[in-house]
Structure 1
Amino acid sequence: MSVKIPLTLACGDYEIVRPLKEGVVKPDGIDLTVLTSMDSTTRHWRFLRNGDFDMAETSASSYVVARDYGYELNALPVFLHRRFRHGFVYINTSKGITKPSDLIGRKVGIKSFLVTAGHWMRGILEHEYGVPHKSIDWYAELDEDVDFVPPPGLRLNRLSHDKSVETMLAEGEIDALIHSSLIKPIVNKDPRVGRLFPDYKAEEQAYYKKTGIFPIMHVLGIKNEVLAQHPWVAINMFHAFNEAKAIAMKRMENPRLVPLAWYREAWEEQEEVLGKDPWEYGLTGKNRQTLETLAGYSHEQGLTRRPMPLDELFVDLSQGRKRGDEFRI
């Protein structure tokens, strides 16, 4: 009887991992326990700080900084969470903010400085809209996934435990907020809070058309000790993630699964704008461009001490030329 090695995977409860979670897809040689009940910030902390899991979906920006600081981790080029970020820049409607340049000199809240959503948006504001990240006073609610030394000139303030950036925005204590999620004032239609980009979908599509970037939020972290003991795990897990995604995408093509009147039209629009597989894994051309931009922002913003090349950040999944794509006995 063959013995499989037990490994834990912590990730979001996504359709594209459902086949792994439910055991429809079984990684070769691995007895996988999939944990999906944590929110993202808790999962990232527990993996990066505590090493609680063998593998985990984790913050891409925090991971890049962790590697620069010598954490014993690596990553698979599996990207379970991607999202455009223009729609998650919120403003207090009484502050006279109507365009990105109005953020210069303002107080802007963030959950923590290394949150990938904020990391992407800082870079986008700087490169696409001329808003230098050092021209803003940043107010962080949470401690960081990875301790880092703030670079000179970064105006970063840590809030006390009783402070919430969402409440501070609504009450006018801060002028704007870059968040990773829909915030309660927006959900509750609080008139004191709006979006910096009211037509954010058009802004995001224009950004993609110009840059070709569909921002990657999370990578799939894996402990070095797992790779040292079982180097074959990386490739086998990569295949399993791809198989799970293929099953999920085929299932999701059926509009009857989702209680949305125009779901199929949204599916077709995504294909028209982003192509057949905007969620692709691996260090493909587009993914390299996206990840190099992300890592470049890390160095520009003084979060890493040197530029971090992708070949250092991701496990080499090479199986040799023309191998691994077709099964031969």
Structure 2
Amino acid sequence: MSKKLALTLACGDYEIVRALKEGTVQPDGIELTIITTMDSSTRHWRFLRNREFDVAEVSSSSYLLARDQGLPFAGIPVFLHRRFRHGFAFVNTSKGINEPKDLIGRRIGVKSFQVSAILWLRGILEHEYGVPHKSIEWVTEIDEDVEFTPPEGLRLSRMRHDQTCEELLVAGELDAVLHADLIWPMVERHPAVKRLWPDYKNEELAYFRKTGIFPIMHVTGIKQEIVDKYPWVPVELMKAFEAAKAVAMKRMENPRIVPLAWYREAWEEQEEVLGRDPWQYGMTDSNRHTLETLIGYSFEQGLIKRKMGLEELFLDVNQGRKRGTNRI
């Protein structure tokens, strides 16, 4: 029996990786141990700081910092997590904040400054709504995935260990919070908190129609030592991720598997607006535009010192024209 290369993969427990996790799809020559139970920020820390996994879904923002600082990682153009972000800006209802420009001069809480969701929101606020990121006092809750020196003119501080963004927002000690997830005051409909954009879905639709961007939150990182020793691994992983996604999309077309009354209508709406495969992997024109926008935001906000090219950031997983389709 031929021996397979044993690798660890840490990622979210997504439908698009279910076939990999269950073993329905297996990368050729690789035996994967897949870890899916940890939260995103813990996974990013453990991969970028401690290098505990061979391959990992990782914050796109933190990955850019890691590469900018010369850390030994490479990227595979597999993007397991995307999300529009307008629905994740929350404000205290007593602060008179009714439109984006009301945020200028305010005190805004974030989990960490580097979080990809927050990088996207700062860029969107600045470029689409005229809210300069340096006009805000930023207050972080946790330490960063990758240490960095804040640029001159950036007001950045950290709250006490016993404080949280959500609690300070409810108490009015923060004017707003930008977050990667729904916060508990919104889930519990606390009267002190509302969304900055109440009609956030239409804001997101308008943003997509204007920019063509469905924001990429996470990329897939791999230890450089794996690439150096086994240069064939990224291509085989790419093929496996694509195959797993194809299985998931075929399964998800069936409205019976999801307990939502209008699920099929939502599926059809997504296809009409975003196209047949809004979760596309690889260096497509759309993905290039999205990633280059993110790199521009990161450079503009002082997280990275130079704008890196996509060919520098991501491995070439192209197998050649008309190759990789099992043709003889």
Alignment-mate amino acid for residue 20 of structure 1: L
CA–CA separation in structure 1 for the residues paired with 2:80 and 2:176: 28
How far residue 319 of structure 1 moved from its aligned partner, in angstroms, is: 1.9
Partner of 1:207: 207
CA–CA separation in structure 1 for the residues paired with 2:210 and 2:78: 24
CA–CA separation in structure 2 for the residues paired with 1:328 and 1:278: 27
Cα offsets for 1:161-189 (capped at 9, x unmatched) = 11101000011000000000000000000
- Please state if 1:328 is matched with 2:324: no
How far residue 201 of structure 1 moved from its aligned partner, in angstroms, is: 0.1
Structure 1: any 5+ residue segments left out of the alignment? none
1:222 partner SS: strand
1:80 partner SS: strand
CA–CA separation in structure 2 for the residues paired with 1:107 and 1:91: 10
How far residue 302 of structure 1 moved from its aligned partner, in angstroms, is: 1.1
CA–CA separation in structure 1 for the residues paired with 2:255 and 2:90: 32
Partner of 2:293: 293
- Please state if 1:241 is matched with 2:241: yes
- Please state if 1:22 is matched with 2:22: yes
CA–CA separation in structure 2 for the residues paired with 1:100 and 1:7: 45
How far residue 323 of structure 1 moved from its aligned partner, in angstroms, is: 1.9
Partner of 2:43: 43
CA–CA separation in structure 2 for the residues paired with 1:232 and 1:105: 51
Aligned pair count reads 328
How far residue 122 of structure 1 moved from its aligned partner, in angstroms, is: 0.2
Of all paired residues, the percent bearing the same amino acid is: 67
Partner of 1:312: 312
CA–CA separation in structure 1 for the residues paired with 2:60 and 2:24: 28
Partner of 2:221: 221
- RMSD of the alignment, in Å? 0.6
- Please state if 1:113 is matched with 2:101: no
4+ aligned runs moved over 3 Å, structure 1: none
2:160 partner SS: coil
CA–CA separation in structure 2 for the residues paired with 1:321 and 1:187: 49
Alignment-mate amino acid for residue 157 of structure 1: S
How far residue 204 of structure 1 moved from its aligned partner, in angstroms, is: 0.1
Structure 2: any 5+ residue segments left out of the alignment? none
Cα offsets for 1:92-131 (capped at 9, x unmatched) = 0000000000000000000000000000000000000000
1:50 partner SS: coil
Q: TM-score, normalised by structure 2?
A: 0.99
| Structure 1 segment 12-161 matched on structure 2, within 5 A | 12-161=12-161
Partner of 1:167: 167
How far residue 316 of structure 1 moved from its aligned partner, in angstroms, is: 1.1
Alignment-mate amino acid for residue 88 of structure 2: F
CA–CA separation in structure 1 for the residues paired with 2:56 and 2:295: 19
How far residue 158 of structure 1 moved from its aligned partner, in angstroms, is: 1.1
CA–CA separation in structure 2 for the residues paired with 1:321 and 1:259: 42
CA–CA separation in structure 1 for the residues paired with 2:260 and 2:319: 42
Q: TM-score, normalised by structure 1?
A: 0.99
Partner of 1:255: 255
Alignment-mate amino acid for residue 260 of structure 1: L
